[in-house]
Amino acid sequence: MRTTIGLEILAANPARAKAWGRCGLLVNQASVDIRIQPSQLVLKKLLRDRLTVLFSPQHGLFAEKQDNMIESGHGKDFISGLPFYSLYSAVREPTEEMLSGLDTVIVDIQDVGTRVYTFIYTMAGIMRTCAALGKRVVVLDRPNPLGGVVTEGNILEMDSRSFVGEYPMPMRHGMTVGELAMWFNGAMGIGADLDIIRMRGWKRRMHWRDTGRTWIMTSPNMPMPETAEVYPGMVLLEGTNISEGRGTTIPFLTVGAPYLERHHDWLNVLRDICDCSGMALRPTVFEPTFNKWSGESCRGVQFVILEEAKVRSYQLGLGVLLATMHLAPNAFQYKDPPYEYETIRPPMQLLLGSGRLPGTLRDLAQRTLRKGVLHELEEEWRPSLKEFLLQRKDSLLYS
């Protein structure tokens, strides 16, 4: 059965939008319906002249900005003819001037199920501003490509908040964008006038391939749903001198570095300390065309997804860090700031959501790595993860 998204539910029931007044829309090029029609055209047909402005998240309206910390400007959407404001520019949330004349801001954006993906904080910023100005927020819900059953990782510590982590949740949160909006609004106290247009036919066990929908890349380095499956772990490499595969055709599914000379030992350690269920680890050599190690041969691994439901990518990402620090301690490095508008705290702290965990990983890597070392870390996080699951319970919209 194909999942019907909030955009399509609204298009089939246009009366729901009668009271919304003049509207803005948070959107990018992955915001399409089942016929791959852009959301702004679907809603312009529905709302007519009541849709007056668009907003774009990180990477731009067409996901054209390749890397992190590359801002996009305001402009005019050549598809719809509507003006748009970039919310990854001098500001990360709309100003009062941007919302002037609007009654409602509609959010129709595809998330990838990971704490550090900035689209959800762009939504949170819209919600905060709208709450302060007394404007309505409507979220057109879309699937979490990782499903809604599994959660993974430590809970973000408040001293590590940033634009890649604003609220205390695990790296893999297991919620749809609509459920996140509910959680931000209630448990996190935003208090906006919020309406969610729910999906039909989505179950928590469903990963992207189960939805019957076509994947459109959400950002330049998210070319397929399998990329999203490993992203919760491999995004950690952005805070290191290990290539996360930017500059290749399969970013995040391919990782490595030129200094991994003990490549065979590295793969053995990785397989030994991680649960690699649901995937094959394929030894590889690759040469990025841009970003880290551009033009240099990197030894590493390609992750081939076999069974999405079994993949535990955050644990695997921690395993990549541990194995590399253990076997190449003099070559491996954590990167220095800046990272996502932070100039003091190191990127790895922001990505891990903890000021303590980067040091803990270094300490562990200096010892003899054994089976179960990552399970022990996960056991330490279990009480706070359990608390999060209880806290989010009232925000879940799907069985």
Give residue-wise pLDDT tens across range 327-360: 999 999 999 999 999 999 999 999 999 999 999 9
Reference 78, options 38, 19, 110, 129; nearest CA is: 38
**Residue-wise over 60-86: b if at least 16 C-beta within 10 A, else e?**
bbebebeebeeebebeebeebebebbb
**How crowded is residue 396: how many other Cβ atoms within 10 Å of its Cβ?**
17
Distances (CA, A) of 282 to 241, 254, 299, 301: 21, 9, 11, 5
120, 194, 110, 66 alpha-carbon torsion, rounded to 10°: -40
- C-alpha span between 242 and 57 (Å, rounded): 27
| Listed residue (31, 7, 124, 120) closest to 80, CA to CA | 31
Token pair in block for residue 269: 């350690």
Token duo for residue 379: 């056991």
Phi, psi of 271 (to 5 degrees): -65, -30
For 371, other C-beta atoms within 10 Å of its C-beta total 9
pLDDT of residue 244: 98
Q: Would you say residue 66 has pLDDT above 90? A: no
pLDDT-derived band of residue 175, with 50, 70 and 90 as boundaries?
Answer: very high
In angstroms, how far is the first alpha carbon of the chain from the final one? 16
Residue range 187-232, pLDDT digits in tens: 999 999 999 999 999 999 999 999 999 999 999 999 999 999 999 9
Residues 6+ apart with CB under 8 A from 260: 266, 298, 299, 300, 324, 327, 328
> Residue 69's pLDDT band (boundaries 50, 70, 90)?
confident
* Buried-exposed string 196-226: b where 16+ CB fall within 10 A, e elsewhere: bbbbeebbbebbbebbebebbbbbbbbbebb
Q: Which parts of 109-262 fold into alpha helices (H)? A: 119-133, 177-185, 225-234
pLDDT of the residue at 67? 76
Given this model, what pLDDT does residue 370 score?
87
Do the beta carbons of residue 27 and residue 110 sit within 8 Å? no
CA diameter of the chain: 65
Look over the chain and give the mean of its residue pLDDT values, rounded to a whole number. 96
Question: To the nearest whole percent, how much of the chain has pLDDT over 70?
Answer: 100
pLDDT digits (tens, 9 = 90+) for 230-266: 999 999 999 999 999 999 999 999 999 999 999 999 9
pTM of the model: 0.96
CA-CA distance, 320 to 267, in Å (whole number)? 9
Q: What is the mean pLDDT of residues 383-391?
A: 97
Q: What is the pLDDT of residue 185?
A: 98
Q: How confident is the model at residue 134 (pLDDT cuts 50, 70, 90)?
A: very high
User: What average pLDDT score do residues 310-332 get?
Assistant: 97
Higher pLDDT, residue 399 or 366: 366
Mean pLDDT of the 293-320 span? 98
Rounded Cα–Cα distance for residues 171 and 165 (Å): 9
- Tell me: pLDDT of 173 over 80: yes
- Element (H or E) spanning 7, and its range? helix 6-12
Q: Tell which CATH classification among 3.40.1260.10, 3.90.1150.140, 3.50.50.60, 3.30.750.24 matches the domain 225-367.
A: 3.90.1150.140
Question: Which residues make up the CATH 3.90.1150.140 domain(s) of the chain?
Answer: 225-367
pLDDT computed for residue 27 by the predictor: 98
Give the right CATH number for 6-215+390-395 from 3.40.50.720, 3.40.50.12170, 3.30.565.10, 1.10.150.20: 3.40.50.12170
Gyration radius of the chain's alpha carbons: 21
d(CA 106, CA 127): 10
C-alpha to C-alpha distance for 46 and 2, rounded to whole angstroms: 23
| pLDDT over 80 at 304, yes or no | yes
Q: Which of 348, 320, 323, 396 is nearest to 160 (CA)?
A: 348
Q: Write down the pLDDT at residue 291.
A: 94
pLDDT of amino acid 399? 86
Which part of the chain is CATH 3.40.50.12170?
6-215+390-395
Residue 65 pLDDT exceeds 90: no
**Phi and psi for 333 in degrees, rounded to 5?**
-145, 140
Instruction: Report residue 8 as tokens.
Output: 């399509």
pLDDT recorded at residue 70: 84
Strands (E) across 113-250 are located at: 136-140, 193-197
pLDDT at residue number 1: 76
